[in-house]
Structure 1
């Protein structure tokens, strides 16, 4: 397995002066109608600072994945507003929103979603090619060096380990220099050692590459790598935790019923 580059120490917790990269204002999200209606988000207001690493946690069914999907523009709020950086994405026409996500939002999922017929290099640069944008060679080299794949860019995904594939997925999320990178249980399919390597990388993405990272996780160990944790329960924000550690996260989650 290719070793990761030396990672910088975690950045300090977010400061009040840091501008918001993700802004939700009184967001409501419901599914269904009538007696079958379910409220997944019940008036959520949240600002996440730029260049920080935020973990979102909550019990099963709390609304944490819905929160991420709405914040990332994958799902539209029923009411309220959502902005990424200075761009309001709620209410944006679908075609325009699709282009905005492709060009300005990075995604990392539990499944790596790499195309087997493409090389690592082609998978990483795919969002640029789909957007008919040229590849910034210097940024490409910087990103693949940061994720530890410089010697593997001509291989295909099936020739990589699970951890290497996830690093390729992270590089793909970074290649457009996005407003924010959203990660949904990014270590869920990895063994504990590889998971820690990927979390080290996610930490470095925020502190070293100065990118905004938002990660949904159920794992206190994974959340402890973040600058801060946002807790959600019953579709509402249930608290925040700065400079988190595993014991404190676990205690807070137990209070929420997880």
Structure 2
């Protein structure tokens, strides 16, 4: 489900070409990503896995425009975001990128509907109420739009966060450990929901996770070791993913 070659299909929702990124530790540059190239097809669910320090969070941040690579290109849809200036990048993220984090980041004073449509409000865009109703129904929150976050369970709050990520019809939804704060049963429901957004809404989802069970919900699992790609698995079971993780960096 991904390519580490120099070719990037026109249907790719996300393309990374030769991405490298280092961070300073005193006078030393510590590499986080080393010449990473991949392409994620539109309408797919991709998981990114690797041990702590492998570069998976840096990959997500560069891919989503939250951080800038030292070298290489990042394309979301047909836009090379690695060339955008700060203000233009902020606008692009707001309109074309959805985010789901371990913490739900819902505003407690706003209703579910208001939290969901907040990206539209910040962008000065009108709310398409038919689309809002459809999104809330798709994430299992039909009829709960007027509730406040504190009136919801943890799983329902994460569903609201997913609805907020979907409301702008983004090119890609990036999920960073989205089930880390949930019990196993609720986590499975949220992962099934992310899977549903891909199959029913043709959404593209890229998820960073440390959990083989979570990764097994994806179409493809990309592995990182020491800042470099270390293979992938398609339609893998949680056991397949766990077995592959045990041998990262040995190929």
From 234, 244, 249, the equivalent of 1:252 is: 244
CA distance in structure 1 between the aligned counterparts of 2:220 and 2:156, rounded to whole angstroms: 26
The corresponding residue for 2:116 is 124
Matches within 5 A, 1:5-16: none
Contact 2:23 2:32 in 1 (8 A): yes
**Number of matched residues?**
245
- Deviation string for 1:188-213 (max 9, x for gaps)? 00000000000000000111110000
From 21, 42, 50, the equivalent of 1:29 is: 21
- Deviation string for 1:71-106 (max 9, x for gaps)? 000000011110001000002100010010011100
Q: CA offset at residue 220 of structure 1?
A: 0.3
Contact 1:26 1:81 in 2 (8 A): yes
Contact 2:9 2:39 in 1 (8 A): no
The corresponding residue for 1:108 is 100
Say yes or no: does 1:41 pair with 2:33: yes
> Which residues of structure 2 form unaligned runs of 5+?
none
Matches within 5 A, 1:97-176: 97-176=89-168
> Which residues of structure 1 form unaligned runs of 5+?
1-12
Q: CA offset at residue 39 of structure 1?
A: 0.5
- Deviation string for 1:31-82 (max 9, x for gaps)? 1177421100010001000000000000110000000010000000011110
Secondary structure at 1:37's aligned position in 2?
strand
Say yes or no: does 1:72 pair with 2:64: yes
CA distance in structure 2 between the aligned counterparts of 1:251 and 1:101, rounded to whole angstroms: 36
CA distance in structure 2 between the aligned counterparts of 1:206 and 1:18, rounded to whole angstroms: 19
- TM-score, scaled relative to structure 1: 0.92
Secondary structure at 2:158's aligned position in 1?
helix
Secondary structure at 2:117's aligned position in 1?
helix
Say yes or no: does 1:243 pair with 2:235: yes
Which has the higher mean CA deviation after the structures are superposed, 82-91 or 28-37? Answer: 28-37
Secondary structure at 2:198's aligned position in 1?
helix
From 171, 183, 186, the equivalent of 1:179 is: 171
The corresponding residue for 2:189 is 197
Runs of at least 4 residues off by over 4 Å: 13-18
Secondary structure at 1:32's aligned position in 2?
strand
Q: CA offset at residue 123 of structure 1?
A: 0.2
Q: Which has the higher contact order (CA 8 A, sep 6+)?
A: 1
